Amino acid sequence: MSVLYIALPAALLLGGAAVAAFVWAVRSGQLDELETPPFRAVFEDPPRPRE
Amino acid sequence: MPAEFSSAVLDAEPATVRPGEAVECAHCVLPVPPGLIAVERDRQFCCHGCEAAYELIHGTDLAGYYAICEQLDTHPPQAVELSDSCEEFDHPAFIERHVRMLPDGRCEVRLLVDGIHCAACVWLLEKLPRLLRGVVSARVDLARRVARVQWDADAVSLSTIARRLRSLGYAARPAGGDAESDGFHQANRRQLVQLAIAGACAGNAMLLAVAMYAGWFSGIADDHSRLLRLASAVLGTVSLLGPGATFYRGAWNALRTRTPHMDISLSLGLAAGGLMGLVNTWRGTGEIYFDSLCMLVFVLLTGRYMQFRQQRRAAERVAVLRGLVPCIASRINGEGRVERVPVEALVVGDLVEVRVGDALPADGTVVSGTTQLDESLLTGESAGVRVADGDSAPAGAINLTAPIRLRVVSTGHETQVGRLSALVEAASLSRTPLVELANRASGVFLIVVLVVAAGTLAAWWPTGVDQAVDHTIALLIVACPCALGLATPLTIAVASGQAARRGILIRSGDVFELLSRRGTIWLDKTGTLTTGDLSLRSFHGDRSVAPFVRTLEEGIAHPVARSLARTLGCLTARDGLSEPSPLPDEFQYFPGLGVAGRFGDMRIECGSRRWLESRGADMSAVELWLADSPAAATTIHVSRDGRVVATFLLGDAPRDEARDTVTALQQAGWRVGMLSGDQSDIARAVARDVGIEPSRVIAGVLPEEKLEVIRRTSETEQVVMVGDGVNDAAALAAADVGIAVQGGAEASLRAAKVYLTQPGLGSLTELLAGSDRAMHAIRRGLALSFAYNITAVTLAACGMVTPLLAAVLMPLSSLSVIALATMQRAFPHSSTMATNGSRP
C-alpha cells in the first residue's frame, strides 16, 4: 500500500497542473468572451469558389 | 460547412424579373422600387449603395456572406450611398479620446457598429483586412456589437475604414467605455481563477474524505490515515487562504460598517474549522473538516460568480444601446466652411449646422433658419416644437423640417441632457438601500447560530474541552449558510436567465422581491402606452382620393407627411386601391402648411384647415366628421377642385396590447396610473382608450415633476415606473423598480433596473407574473434550507453530528437547493425566441 505515498502526491500534482493550465487560459483572455468565438470557429476558413 | 455556404450562392439562378411581381434587392432583400428595376440586368438593387456593397463583396471573393445570411434566415443591413466623408474620425480630439496606439506602431479603436446582429455580420466584418488594405485585424464581439479594429495609420485612415463599413451598411461610432470593459474583464478573470482553485481543492478534498470515511468503517493503517489527513490539510489551507480570503474581506467590511452579513458567520466558521483542523492534523487525532470547508468555499463562490455574470450581462447589453447626443457635429469654421468634428471638440460660441433628421449636438441658440424640433425625448411632448432665430434649442432634440445653424451655449455635461443624467445618477444613489432577502435572513440566522454555538460550547464544557470544541465546530460548519446563501442568488440567477431569453433584462437582484409586492405602477404615455409614432387614427370622406394623397405626401420629408404616406399605403392596400396614382403633372410644397398637386385636370390639395380656407376651399363637410373624432390629433384635410372631400386624423395610437396589459395589471392588484409630459387632453384621451382611471392621470409634467410624483408616491407604497424617454430617466431611477421599454433612450436604460427588449407591453405582464413565480421558488428554497438548518443545528447541539452524518447532510442540502432553483420555471420557455434577443 505504500504506493499511496507516490500516487497521492502525483495525483495532486496533476490536478495542480490542470488548474495552472486553466489559470493560464483565463489570464490570456480566452474566457473573456464566450459568444462570438463559436461562430468564428465555424467560419474561419474562407470559402473557396467552386470552379 | 463553408463550402456549402459558398456554393449555395454561386449556383443560384439570377433573379428573373416578371412584371407585377415584387422584386427583392440582391443585397439587402428589401423590395426594389418599381422605378429602379432594370429588366435587362441579372440582379436588381434597391439603391446604388446596395449595388456598390454587392460588387465590393463579390469582388473580394466574400460571396459566402450571402449564403450565411440565407442559412441564418437574416439579411444584410441596407447599404447607404456614400455622402459622408466621415472626416470626424480623423479629428485630433477624436483620436485622442478613442484611439489607442499599440506598441508596434499600429492603432486600435473600438467601434460600436449598429448593424451587427448575426453571425454573418461577424464573418464579413472580420474579413475587413481583405476589403480594405491597411486594416490589420478586425475582431467582432457579437453580444456587444463592438468591433475592435487594428490598422496601420500610414496605409489607411480611420475615416476610410468608417466609410468602408458604412458602404457595407454598417454605421460605426466610437464604443467608449474602454475602462469599464477592462474593469469587467479583470474582475471576471480574478473570479474565474478563484473558482478554479476552489473547485480543484473541493473536488480533491472530497475524494480524500471518501477514502477516510471508508477507513473509518473498515479500518485504515495509521500512517495512511495520517497521509490522507495531511493532504486534506494542504488542500484546505490552499482553499481557505486563497479563494476563501474573499469572505474574510467581506466580513471585515461588514464589521467596519456594523451591518450583520453572512460573511461574518462564514468567516468565523471557516477560520475556526480551519484552525481546529490544522491542530487536529498536527496532533493526529480528532476531526478535520477540510472537505466540508473546501466545498463550502467553492459552492459560495459559484453563487457569487453567477450573480456577478448576470448583473454584468444585463448592464453590457444596455451599455451598447444608442446614445442620445450624436458623437459628430458639423461646425462652421472661420472661413464659413462646414467641417465635421467630434462633439468633444465643440466649445461655447462655436457655430454648428444641424441637418434635417439629425440630433442637436449641444445646447444652443438658433442663429439662422426656422424649423420644427422633436424634443419628445426631453419633454415627452409628441408634437414638434417650432423654433426660429434667437430661440434656444436643447441638445438631443431632433431637427425635423429645415436645416438650422446654432450658436453653442453649453456642451457635454453642461447641457440640459447632461444635467438630466446627473439628476438620474443622484436619484440612483439616493435610492433607499434595500437589504436583499437572503442577507436579511442570514443576519438573523447569524445571531441565532452564534447564540446556539455559545450555548453548545457551555453545555458540553463539563464533559471535556475537546468534545465541547468539536461539537461547536461541527455545529458552525453543519449549520451551513451554504443552502441559505445559495438558495436566493441561485433562484434569482436562474429566473433572470430565463427572463433574459424572453427579452427581459434584469439588472438588480431585488427586482423579483419588489415586484411580488403590490403598489402603484406609473406608465409613461409616449412610446410606452403608445407606439410613439404618428399614424392614421381615423379617416372620413371619399376614399378614392387616398392614392393621390399618398403620392403627394411621399414627395415630402416632413414627419407628418411621412407617417401619413406610410399608413395610407396600408389602408389603400386593404381597400384594393394599392395601385399608386400617376405622378402629378404639377407639384407644389408649402413648407409647414400643405402640399398641392395637379393630376390631369384634377387639383388635389392637402394641408391644415387654416391653409385650405385661405386658399378658398369649401370646408362645409368637415364639421360633421370632426364631431366624433378622438381628441388630440393632427388633422389633415384634402380638397379636390376647391371642395374638401376627405379628412385624415393622425395621432399617436395606443399600442394594440395596451388595454389588455392595463386590465391585467389592475386584476393582479396593481393601481395603474399614467404620468405624461404631454398635454393633458391628449393624455386623458389615451388613458380613456386604455382603461386608466382619469383620477390617476397626471399630465403636462416636467421630468423634475415626474420625479416628485414618484418620490411622493413611494413614501407610502411600492412604486413601479415604466417609461422610455430621457424625461423618465430620473423617475425610473427613483422608483422602487424602474422598467425601461424597448426603443428607449440610453439614459433611461441606465437608470432602470429592468429593460424590456421586446417591443410592446406584453413583456411587462410576463415580468410581473414571472416575479411572483420566482418569489415562490425563492421562498420554497429558503424554507427548505431553514428546515435543514434547524434540524442540523439541533443535532449538532446535542452532539449527534458524526463525521458521516455531516458528510451526508452537507451535499444533500446543497443539491436539493440547487435542484429546486434550477427546476423552477418563472419564465416559461418559448420556441419563438431566437438567440438574438438583444437585437434592437
Task: With respect to residue B138, please indicate whether it lies within any of the assigned structural domains.
Answer: yes
User: Looking at residue B577, what is its pLDDT?
Assistant: 61
Minimal Cβ distance to A43: which of B2, B197, B200: B2
**Res. B432: pLDDT tops 50:** no
Residues B56 and B164 placed together within one structural domain of the fold: no
Task: Please report, as a single letter, which amino acid is at residue B308.
Answer: F
**Res. B320: pLDDT tops 50:** no
Residues B302 and B234 placed together within one structural domain of the fold: yes
**pLDDT higher at B496 or B773:** B773
Task: With respect to residue B614, please indicate whether it lies within any of the assigned structural domains.
Answer: yes
Residues B44 and B98 placed together within one structural domain of the fold: no
Task: With respect to residue B97, please indicate whether it lies within any of the assigned structural domains.
Answer: yes
Angle of helix B803-823 relative to helix B762-797, nearest 10 degrees, comes to 170
**pLDDT higher at B206 or B627:** B206
Domain boundary among B176, B196, B228: B176
* Residue B540, helix vs strand vs coil: strand
Residues B303 and B349 placed together within one structural domain of the fold: no
Task: Tell me the three cell numbers of residue B179.
Answer: 475602462
Residues of A in contact with B197 (CB under 8 A): 19, 23
* Residue B341, helix vs strand vs coil: strand
**Res. B238: pLDDT tops 90:** yes
**pLDDT higher at A46 or B839:** A46
**pLDDT higher at B786 or B38:** B786
User: Looking at residue B816, what is its pLDDT?
Assistant: 77
Task: With respect to residue B445, please indicate whether it lies within any of the assigned structural domains.
Answer: no
**pLDDT higher at B14 or B715:** B715
Q: What is the largest CA-CA distance in chain A?
A: 68
The number of distinct structural domains making up chain B is: 6
Query: pLDDT above 90 covers what percent of chain B?
Result: 5
**Res. B5: pLDDT tops 70:** no
Residue range B802-815, pLDDT digits in tens: 656 665 666 677 67
pLDDT band, residue B204 (cuts 50/70/90): very high
Residues B507 and B307: their CA atoms lie apart, in Å, by 10
Residues B728 and B739: their CA atoms lie apart, in Å, by 10
Residues B189 and B171 placed together within one structural domain of the fold: no
Task: Tell me the three cell numbers of residue A18.
Answer: 490542470
Q: Mean pLDDT over residues B710-720, rounded?
A: 87
Residues B522 and B661 placed together within one structural domain of the fold: yes
- B166-175, B379-388, B829-838 — most confident range: B166-175
Identify the CATH number of the domain in which residue B590 sits.
3.40.1110.10
Domain boundary among B629, B653, B677: B653
Residues B663 and B761 placed together within one structural domain of the fold: yes
Task: Tell me the three cell numbers of residue B565.
Answer: 404616406
Interface of A with B (CB under 8 A): 1, 4-5, 8-9, 11-12, 15-16, 18-19, 22-23, 26-27, 29, 31-33, 35-36, 39-40, 42-43, 45-50
- Three-class DSSP labels, chain A: CCCHHHHHHHHHHHHHHHHHHHHHHHHCCCCCCCCCHHHHHHHCCCCCCCC
Query: Among B85-99, B158-172, B440-454, which stretch is predicted with the lowest mean pLDDT?
Result: B440-454
Angle of helix A4-27 relative to helix B178-218, nearest 10 degrees, comes to 170
**pLDDT higher at B484 or B596:** B596
Say which residue the cell 404616406 belongs to: B565
Residues B520 and B660 placed together within one structural domain of the fold: yes
Minimal Cβ distance to B142: which of A16, A22, A36: A36
User: Looking at residue B312, what is its pLDDT?
Assistant: 66
- B68-82, B418-432, B615-629, B726-740 — most confident range: B726-740
Say which residue the cell 492534523 belongs to: B281
- A44-48, B36-40, B699-703 — most confident range: B699-703
Q: Mean pLDDT over residues B394-415, rounded?
A: 80
Domain boundary among B134, B157, B176: B176
Residues of A in contact with B196 (CB under 8 A): 19, 22-23, 26
Residues B676 and B763 placed together within one structural domain of the fold: yes
Residues B292 and B365 placed together within one structural domain of the fold: no
Contact A29 B221 (CB under 8 A): no
User: Looking at residue B799, what is its pLDDT?
Assistant: 76
User: Looking at residue B330, what is its pLDDT?
Assistant: 82
Q: Mean pLDDT over residues A11-17, rounded?
A: 94
pLDDT band, residue B142 (cuts 50/70/90): confident
* Parent domain of B305: 185-320
**Res. B441: pLDDT tops 50:** yes
Query: Among B201-205, B247-251, B340-344, B377-381, which stretch is predicted with the lowest mean pLDDT?
Result: B377-381
Contact A35 B68 (CB under 8 A): no
Residues B250 and B281 placed together within one structural domain of the fold: yes
Q: Which of B826, B827, B777, B521 is nearest to B669 (CA)?
A: B521
Task: With respect to residue B781, please indicate whether it lies within any of the assigned structural domains.
Answer: no
Strand B754-756 and strand B737-740: the pairing is: parallel
Task: Please report, as a single letter, which amino acid is at residue A20.
Answer: A
Contact B2 A32 (CB under 8 A): no
Task: With respect to residue B481, please indicate whether it lies within any of the assigned structural domains.
Answer: no
Q: Which of B741, B733, B728 is nearest to B767 (CA)?
A: B741
User: Looking at residue B81, what is its pLDDT?
Assistant: 59
Residues B165 and B266 placed together within one structural domain of the fold: no
Q: Mean pLDDT over residues B678-694, rounded?
A: 81
Task: Tell me the three cell numbers of residue B172.
Answer: 460605426
Task: Please report, as a single letter, which amino acid is at residue B301.
Answer: L
* Residue B482, helix vs strand vs coil: helix
pLDDT band, residue B385 (cuts 50/70/90): confident
CA distance A39 to chain B (A): 6
Identify the CATH number of the domain in which residue B697 sits.
3.40.50.1000
Residue of A nearest to B117 (CA): A36
Task: With respect to residue B832, please indicate whether it lies within any of the assigned structural domains.
Answer: no
Q: Mean pLDDT over residues B540-557, rounded?
A: 78
pLDDT band, residue B480 (cuts 50/70/90): low
Residues B530 and B522: their CA atoms lie apart, in Å, by 14
CA B355-B361-B366 angle, to 5 degrees, is 65
For B308-340, b where at least 16 C-beta lie within 10 A, e where not — what string? bebbebbbbbbbbbebbbbbbbbbbeeeeeeeb
User: Looking at residue B263, what is its pLDDT?
Assistant: 72
- Three-class DSSP labels, B663-708: HHHHHCCCEEEEECCCCHHHHHHHHHHHCCCHHHEECCCCHHHHHH
Instruction: Provide the β-strand partners of residue B538.
Output: B649
- Residue B454's Cα: distance from chain center in Å? 49
Strand ranges, E, within B546-701: 586-590, 594-599, 602-607, 634-640, 643-654, 671-675, 697-698
**pLDDT higher at B214 or B462:** B462
Instruction: Provide the β-strand partners of residue B399.
Output: B373
Residue range B608-647, pLDDT digits in tens: 877 888 888 777 777 777 665 555 567 788 888 888 888 8
Contact A32 B189 (CB under 8 A): yes
CA distances from B715 to B25, B514, B673, B711, B720 (A): 57, 15, 16, 6, 13
The per-residue DSSP string of B381-422 comes to --S-EEE-TT-EE-TTPEE-SS-EEEEEEE-GGGSHHHHHHH
- Asked whether B391 and B410 are in contact (CB, 8 A), the reply is no
Identify the CATH number of the domain in which residue B368 sits.
2.70.150.10
User: Looking at residue B198, what is its pLDDT?
Assistant: 94
A29: left (phi over 0), alpha (psi -120 to 50) or beta: left
Residues B531 and B381: their CA atoms lie apart, in Å, by 14
Residues B768 and B304: their CA atoms lie apart, in Å, by 25
Mean pLDDT of chain B: 76
User: Looking at residue A18, what is its pLDDT?
Assistant: 95
Q: How many CA atoms lie within 13 A of B383 on its CB side?
A: 14
- Asked whether B732 and B751 are in contact (CB, 8 A), the reply is yes
Task: Please report, as a single letter, which amino acid is at residue B655.
Answer: R
Residues B779 and B782: their CA atoms lie apart, in Å, by 5
User: Looking at residue B21, what is its pLDDT?
Assistant: 58
Residues B649 and B537: their CA atoms lie apart, in Å, by 5
User: Looking at residue B236, what is its pLDDT?
Assistant: 94
Task: With respect to residue B469, please indicate whether it lies within any of the assigned structural domains.
Answer: no
Residue range B500-515, pLDDT digits in tens: 777 787 777 678 888 8
Q: Which of B36, B55, B35 is nearest to B44 (CA)?
A: B36
CA distances from B47 to B28, B32, B114, B160, B645 (A): 10, 8, 20, 21, 37
Interface residue of B193, B230, B290, B298 to substitute, partner A, most A CBs within 10 Å: B193
Residue of A nearest to B66 (CA): A47
Q: What are phi and psi of B466, to 5 degrees?
A: -55, -50
